[in-house]
Chains A and B, each alone.
Chain A
Amino acid sequence: MAGSKDQARMAAQAFTAADDEEYWEESSVTSSKKNLFDDEEEGFTVLGVSENKAARLSSALRSTAPDLFADDDNDDITWETSSNISNSSSHGSITSAEYRSARYTPPTNRSGSLSTSSSRSTAATVTLGGSQDNSLSVQFSKPKITRSEPMSLEDAIIDVPAKQVTATEVSKLETEIQFLRRQVQLGERARWTSLPVKETIKRIILGQPYSLEAYKSLEDKLALLDAAIKMHDGDAITIAVLFLKKTVRKNIFQQELIKRPVAINHLIHFLWCHYDLDDLEEIYRILGRMEDVFVLKYKQALAPSKAAGRAQSIAAVVRSFQHDSSLAPDSTLLLDQCTLLQRQIQIEEEDKKIAASGKHPVFREHPPKAHLPLTPLTTTLYYCSFYHYNESDSSLSSPLSIKRDFQISDKQYTWSTLNALAKLHRWKEIEALLTSKNWFGGTKMKACIGFEKVVDILSKQKAPVDILSKYLPYIEDPNERLALAAKLKCHRTVVDTLIQLKDRTALEDYRLKTPDYSLERQYVITALNNSQIKWKN
């Protein structure tokens, strides 16, 4: 008891601490649609919840009861792997007798239509006009089952008071028996004469025995298929299509199939699942669905797991579709993929030699972790920017030659190279990358991805403040620039931006945030004393 008292006291403390936060009382939800996520000063807030506060409360709660999760009772299924088998204790089938008495009839064995029909009749007498459907017999017992107690089906059934059988019910049962007798006879005959197609499809849907042998004429076969389509069951449609396929000549089959799109879908799906890819291709070709043929062939071409083999098989696909103009755009993509694969193989071979020689500093400090072949183009571009940035653009592994040969967008190129160079802390090269020359030989800073992103990448790679300060002033939106500069403690940019915004009050506030007697403090004071600036406040 003493222990839990302590716990409670701790909890109490934790909660009083929490009380100090006004947060608990006040609604933090000021959610206007555009501004869901108020950026609070002391931490990030998502959807109105502050991270710090969540953490605090959560740890407070945890500390109050460390054993909170100890008493979990698990009834999960544990899996045995097929290789390692420990013999677990067997409980045997002690309860088998109990469950034998369950009232519903066991699902009937499909040995033939006769036995099914007869078992059906016995079930019917018990459940009053029931069928093979198990759920029906349960209806009677339902009111007895109480909400809270998980009673088994069988318990509930025993409790049902015996039902009084009235004369009308007896006569009803008799009619039922008559009906079922007729059904049995019908079933016997049905074995040898063809049932109406609709009945056969119904039997397939309801999981009753059926036979298709009797449908010999083409009309019957087609009627069967159409009935299946009309009754919507995919299983029946597939069975009917495959029956047609098996029993008539190929060209008749194809001719009839083309008229029935739903049947086509089912056949195609069956062939996919069954890996009958040659048949599948043929069907697509007959239907003129060349794009599907193309995709199928491409999928098959991707089977080789080695880059060289894959490049070869993809090249074969491209060759076989070179005359199909409607597929030209996708063929081009595949051709690029081949070229890339071959190039990756070559680059990797070269790089292995370079790495082995141990001369290249980057390879020494950052040996490649994964294989280059089979990676996407963007990844390859990053790789080449990382290891081969300064190579001339005639080299296969130069990022510039890759940009040119694969028509990579400027933005993509900037993202990949900038990331690679920042990771290597190569600030000079970054500056060169972002400097563009104009016609008159002058230079200008330019970043197609926006300087806020540039600063973001650099700051994530822990670039020094003076490097960041180079790019911060180029951020167009002054408010965004201000926020970012303040976060990264680039004081000069903050001051310049506040001057641009003519916000004297903010600048005066900011003065206190700069270190005493620093250059930045001096800079602020100079600005504040500048009479030329027309402050807005």
Chain B
Amino acid sequence: MAVSAVLGPKLPDLQYLKRLARDQLVHLLESLPGRKDLVIDPDLMTPLDRIAGASLLKQHGVDKIFKLERTKIHGGCDQLVYLVRSKLTTTKLIADQITADIRDARKRKYKIIMTPRRLQVCDMVLEHEGVFGLVSIEELHLDLIPLDRDLLSMELPQFFRDYFLHGDQTWLASIAKSLVNIQSLFGPIPNIYGQGRCAKMVADMVDMMMSELGERQSPIGCEIGHLFLIDRDVDYVTPLCTQVTYEGLLDDIFGIKSGSVEFGPDVTGTDKSIKIMLSGEDEVFRAIRDRHFSNVFGFLSAKAKELQTSYDKRHNLKSVQDMKQFVSEELSNLKKQHKALTLHIGACETITKNKSRGDFEEQMRTEHGLLEGVDVRECINFIEESINRQHSRTEVLRLLCMLSSTQGGLPSKDYKSLKTQFLQSYGTEHLLTLHNLKKLGLFVEQQAPDATANKLTDKMAAKLTDGMASLQLQLQLPKKSQFRAVSRKLNLIPKSAENFELRNPNDMAYVFSGAYAPLSCKLIEQVLQREGWTGVEDIAKLLPGDNFVHLKAKSAKGKASGSNPDSDKIVLVYFLGGCSYTEVSALRFLGKQKGYRFLVATTALVNGGRLIESVSGWK
């Protein structure tokens, strides 16, 4: 077990969260004795795999497993358990299926398990549809799912759309609840920092829920020293960039789902696909996941040679005893590593093939130009050409959003021309998508003085209430070159761009080939270093939403009995609205550099493509 080579402070064991969720699920299944069929929300399929496999479900009386679909469920037994995300549309679907059963004069017992929480509006829908009396409703507190030793995700990608696009705050309570759970397991977190409107609301709700729980009789030690809450709209640019770290590329090219990835025949070299769990437990993967892609292959080939030497050892085995030891101890480990190595090299091969096609190089040049703010006209030409050639729609939208976000909106002429050409190439229906992106502030026209006319009524309305915060939301339209200013103040673009050291990086910007350091992570670095926002006010001023900080007095911190002495170095960063694998890598790097250990929690893991797709208005 070479795994125990601990880097710095020890992380709390996140597997407790998984065990809790699994035991609760088992309990809920057992509370309906006998055989039953399970209907699962498609959204929950992969996340559930992390908690309970099919065999566990079968052990607890589940007979058949169905996917929740629009179609009626035929056959099956007389007890039906629905396991779903608490959403209005899903609830309506269930109500329809129950109504269909009634019409067919079919008698069944129904249980609906809602996760992460039971919603009153869902109850209302069931009441409205006249089936409330026929179902029992339970909740499964499946909020943060551990995807790795330092990575937690709610696996709730729709949060981004619901909150940032529609302003719906329904999931906030579940996010707050997940933080309450973390604190009841690993002790209260003394220092809390936040940036953004949602971050503030979540912090308020956590306070309310904690005070509702009351003072603890026996305070348990605190294992996590700091919590940083950050809204996704603080930094849209980072997740929009093409990823070039190994794990980031795996996500961009193969798509990582709840921490596992499926490699097709081109990677495995056989005629079947293989699904593997990506985790730090895999020694080979741990060594390469955070590296810049150019630095992965050399490692893998060295590792391959090393492996060969270990295999060769068996030629020198002198006695049966030695042989026995080799076979029983080393061989299986070698085989495991061999397998991992083969897959990762295969994946590298596919990535290389994928990126050498087309105009990847030009695309990277465009992205770097946008980040740096140089040759913007050329960048626009490249995007225009991609539109003319009908390249992937999502890719083009990603570049358009990147253009707009880095330049603080587009001049009227460019905006209109790009919009028209985009609709010509991909269909006018995508006006709906562009409308959404405009609402999010991701693809906008620079504001002419009189263009805000129809916003005025809302603004005035907002003034009338205490909704100062919502007023801010309305005024959030990016000012010209806001990104540029923040970028300058946080030194996001390295000065020594030439000969940037990617092998043994000493700058976080290595995650984007030395062209840019993630805004979100740099901001976190600054605030942690200063233990607050003093000294970075001028930066915070340029970011959307308010910032806040709650620090527990130093003395009190020291007194807490049983506290992990390392806790001050353990930082939980919670991304509200998703984070990318590159950001996780950047934080791991920051941790190594400054002696912190980061735990990353997020509502979902995103990349540019998924972020854009999640707010599209037309398929």
Spell out A's residues near B (CB within 8 Å): 8, 11-12, 15, 18-19, 23-24, 27-29, 31-34, 36-37, 44-51, 53-55, 57-62, 64-66, 68-69, 72, 75-83, 85, 88, 90-96, 99-100, 102, 104, 106-107, 109, 128-129, 131, 133-136, 138-139, 142, 145, 147, 150-154, 172, 202, 204-207, 226, 229-239, 242, 258-262, 265-266, 268-270, 272-274, 287-291, 295, 298-299, 302, 326, 329-330, 333-334, 336-337, 374-379, 406, 408-409, 411-412, 415-416, 449, 453
Contact = CB atoms under 8 A, between A and B. Distances in A.
A19 B335 CA distance: 22
B159 to A, nearest CB: 11
B470 A262 contact: yes
B427 interface: yes
Interface stretch (B70-78, B522-530, B595-603, B604-612): B70-78
Chain B binding surface, main DSSP class: helix
A232 B72 CA distance: 37
B121 interface: yes
A77 B294 contact: no
Contacts of A62: 269-270, 342, 346
9 contacts: A32-B500, A33-B498, A82-B71, A135-B181, A226-B466, A234-B172, A236-B120, A262-B167, A377-B424
B30 A273 contact: no
Nearest to A70: B270
Nearest to A72: B274
Given A54-B349, A376-B427, A59 B185 contact: no
A102 B30 CA distance: 11
Contacts of A375: 427
Interface string B52-67: 0111011111011111
Nearest to A128: B217
Contact of A287 (B57, B244, B421, B458): B458
A82 B268 CA distance: 33
Contact of B385 (A80, A206, A258, A449): A449
Nearest to B503: A29
B21 to A, nearest CB: 10
B162 A80 contact: no
Contacts of B297: 28, 48-49, 53-54
Given A61-B342, A91-B58, A134-B20, A268 B166 contact: yes
Contacts of B421: 409, 412
Given A77-B45, A107-B139, A172-B217, A415 B201 contact: no
Contacts of A96: 30, 33, 60-61
Minimum-distance CB pairs A-B, first 3: A48-B294, A234-B170, A265-B167
Interface stretch (B205-213, B231-239, B574-582): B205-213
B64 A58 contact: no
A233 B117 contact: no
A58 B513 CA distance: 25
Considering residues A11, A64, A326, A376, which has the most beta carbons from chain B within 10 angstroms of its beta carbon? A376
Contact of A33 (B59, B425, B467, B515): B515
B341 interface: yes
B514 interface: yes
Interface in B208-255: 208-209, 212-218, 220, 244
B339 A69 contact: yes
B244 A408 contact: no
Given A261-B467, A295-B435, A58 B388 contact: no
B106 interface: no
Max chain B CB contacts within 10 Å: which of A99, A109, A258?
Answer: A99
A154 B121 contact: no
Contacts of B293: 46-49
A33 B353 contact: no
B555 interface: no
A484 B352 CA distance: 22
Contact of B338 (A65, A83, A233, A411): A65
B208 A85 contact: no
Interface stretch (B356-364, B477-485, B546-554, B564-572): B356-364
- Most A C-beta atoms less than 10 A away, residue of B28, B59, B88, B168: B168
A289 B293 CA distance: 48
A45 to B, nearest CB: 8
Interface stretch (B299-307, B396-404, B531-539, B586-594): B299-307
B557 interface: no
A100 B283 CA distance: 39
A34 B497 contact: yes
A95 to B, nearest CB: 6
Given A31-B502, A75-B55, A153 B388 contact: no
Given A47-B294, A449-B385, A234 B19 contact: no
